[in-house]
Amino acid sequence: MSQPDPPTQRPLRKLLIEFGPLVTFFLAQRYKDIYWATGVFMVAISISVLVSRRIEHKWPVVPLVTAVFVLVMGGLTLWLQDATFIMMKPTIVNLLFAGILLVGLANKRLFLKTVFAEAFDLEDEGWSKLTLRFGLFFVILAALNEIVWRTQSVDVWTSFKVFGIAPLTIVFMLLQGRLVERYTRSKS
């Protein structure tokens, strides 16, 4: 019987599982080309989702949705030899997540609460504000991706995908700390 991981290993492992495919995409694109990188990305993200499933004993919803889009858009990229599809993938995924969150919010459904319920115990007002912020952030990421892939080289877009979107997301999440702190339910 295996021992559970120490708490400090879980975030690092999760980071490697989620960002590993992105790093392999970046490296493959740098050393080969966008088509080679797309194939490597498709394999890496599939492995990542399966490893996450095995470790967590449940399907990771957001990475699974992302993986499906990587496989579809990556498949189109390789089949049609047109990098436009893989470069549009972040736009489509971000707009999908924004749509789900914002339409859910308009219908009083807090889907973000479902995703992050294990991490945070917030009042519904906090979940609503956080959902709105995430929805708008995803729209901004989609717009930024569109601007970059339509105006820059594949190399610049690949760098933006790895060194732009990921850090922006981390900074955005860190900036939500006050909101999370303010709306966290007291444990009394």
The per-residue pLDDT for 188 is 56
Reported confidence tier of residue 7, pLDDT bands at 50, 70, 90: very low
The per-residue pLDDT for 56 is 83
Tell me the pLDDT tens digit for each residue of 134-186: 999 999 999 999 999 999 999 999 999 989 998 999 899 999 999 999 999 87
Reported confidence tier of residue 59, pLDDT bands at 50, 70, 90: confident
3-state DSSP of the chain: CCCCCCCCHHHHHHHHHHHHHHHHHHHHHHHCCHHHHHHHHHHHHHHHHHHHHHHHCCCCHHHHHHHHHHHHHHHHHHHHCCCHHHHHHHHHHHHHHHHHHHHHHHCCCCHHHHHHCCCCCECHHHHHHHHHHHHHHHHHHHHHHHHHHHHCCHHHHHHHHHHHHHHHHHHHHHHCHHHHHHHECCCC
Tell me the pLDDT tens digit for each residue of 36-48: 999 999 999 999 9
| pLDDT above 90 as % of the chain | 71
Interval 85-101 mean pLDDT: 96
Interval 102-114 mean pLDDT: 94
Tell me the pLDDT tens digit for each residue of 115-128: 887 788 899 999 99
pTM: 0.84
Mean pLDDT taken over the chain: 90
| Residue 72 reports pLDDT greater than 60 | yes
Interval 50-78 mean pLDDT: 91
